[in-house]
Amino acid sequence: MLTVAEETGDLGQGFLNINRIFEEELGRIFKRVLSLIEPVIIVSMGIIIGSIIFTMFSAIMGINEIRF
């Protein structure tokens, strides 16, 4: 692509075309990676929140078993 742009004397436009192509490809890669990471983050947050709730309830139940 750059060879053709150099031969036609429009090297700047050739670089702009290559830049556009790489930006589009990078955008597709980012979308794909984010679509894979989002479910992992949601499940991780659920596990963290669930463990916090479990810890709080087990502490409350432990206090109920104390005899005065």
Higher pLDDT, 30 or 65: 30
**Measured distance CA(55)–CA(66) in Å, rounded:** 17
Which one-letter DSSP state was computed for residue 8? H
As a whole number, mean pLDDT of residues 6-24 equals 86
**Measured distance CA(41)–CA(33) in Å, rounded:** 12
pLDDT in tens, 20-63: 999 999 999 999 999 999 999 999 999 999 999 999 999 888 88
Which one-letter DSSP state was computed for residue 54? H
Asked if residue 47 lies in contact with residue 39, where contact means CB atoms within 8 angstroms, the answer is no
Instruction: Provide the domain count of the chain.
Output: 1
Higher pLDDT, 9 or 68: 9
Domain span at 59 = 2-64
Higher pLDDT, 2 or 13: 13
Total residue length of the chain: 68
